[in-house]
Amino acid sequence: MTDAAEKTLVCIVCPTGCRLYVDETLDGLAVRGAGCERGRQYATSEFSSPVRIFTGTVRVRGGRARVVPVRSDVPVERDVLMDVARLTAKIVAEAPVDAGAVLAELPGLAKLVATGAVERG
């Protein structure tokens, strides 16, 4: 009870990168070192259930480029990133692809949104 290990992490919410120290206490999580409220919330969520935006590329058929850059529309749990990546690898989009287009829905995970455009060609 008295020697709960303190977890340290670097906040990624903004470029400052505050060093955060999270303690699990009887009264809940204690967060030290956060420069702002968003950082405190980040520390709390990282401790319990870390999430990440997924980014990558999707294959394109019939376009001027072979791939189009994509992102998940919402953050996904950090531990399922590789699953999202594997599912993304199976998708082939048809040119033309518009920036902002939803290329696929990964059930229970996220939608894949194109972040660039690919013309037909």
Partner 1 sequence: MRARDFDVLVVGGGPAGLSAAGAAAVSGARVLLAERDVRLGGILNQCVHDGFGLELFGESLTGPEYAARQIEGLAGSDVEVILDASVLRIESDGRVHLLSPSGYSVLEPGAVVLAMGCRERSFASLVMPSCRPAGIWSAGTAQRLVNLEGLMVGRRVVILGSGDVGLIMARRLTLEGARVECVLELYPYPGGLPRNVSQCLNDFGIPLLLRHTVLEVLGKDRVAGVVIAGVGDDSRPLPGTERTIECDTLLVSVGLIPENELTREAGGAMDLATGGPVVDQQLMTSILGVFAAGNALHVHDLADWASLEGRRAGELAAAYAREPWVASSPIAVRPSGDVRYVVPQTLRVGEPATLSFRVTEPRRRALVSVSRGGEKIVSMQFPYLSPSELATIEVPALAAGDSPLEVLVD
Query: Which residue intervals of 2-75 are DSSP H helices?
Result: 37-48
- Do 22 and 7 meet the contact criterion of CB atoms below 8 Å apart? yes
Q: For partner 1, which residue of 29, 44, 51, 69 counts as binding (CB under 8 A)?
A: 69
How many chain residues bind partner 1 (CB under 8 A)? 31
Among 4, 14, 74, 102, binds partner 1 (CB under 8 A): 14
Q: Which of 22, 31, 34, 70 binds partner 1 (CB under 8 A)?
A: 70
Alpha helix ranges (H) inside 51-90: 81-89
Residue 62 binds partner 1 (CB under 8 A) = no
